[in-house]
Amino acid sequence: MKSLFDSSTREELISRMQGLHEGSAAKWGRMNAYQMLKHCALAHEMILHNQIHPRAFMGRLLGRVLLKNEVKDDRPMRQGNPTIPALKVNETTGDFGTEKSRCIGLLHDYARYALPDNSFVHPFFGKMTREEIGRHAYKHTDHHLRQFGC
């Protein structure tokens, strides 16, 4: 299964991200390309910088079960999953090039990820192992790149 801790997987995503441009149209959802890049960058920063956000009530009830189901195979993430509040991007415009470079830089940072297992707590899924983080982060980024045809 693909993981952002694998260098060839990171390079695949970076290559796909290079094909994204400011005018890329979404196949689904409400975000534009700038918002998607910023959303993904915020998600990667949350993981890589071990940022703490309040746990969602539904996540406390269902998070572990849904995480196990999501990372058990290579099926793409389904469309329409809700976004946690900390990762919502409201502004519709910004510096696309800067956001793209930031997101690519964060993908490279997975090569140096050093948190021990179960020290990162996702706001919905709860404590995650390194393996779960790598798979989920890949699937989340892949999901949004596919959203824009990349």
pLDDT value at residue 82? 87
Q: Where are the domains of the chain?
A: 7-147
Domain over 7-147 is classified CATH 1.10.10: no
Model confidence over 86-142: pLDDT tens digits?
999 999 999 999 999 999 999 999 999 988 888 899 999 999 999 999 999 999 999
pLDDT value at residue 41? 98
Computed over every residue of the chain, the mean pLDDT equals: 94
DSSP labels for 51-101?
---PPPHHHHHHHHHHHHHHSSS-PPPPTTPPPPGGG------S-HHHHHH
Which residue has better confidence, 114 or 25? 25
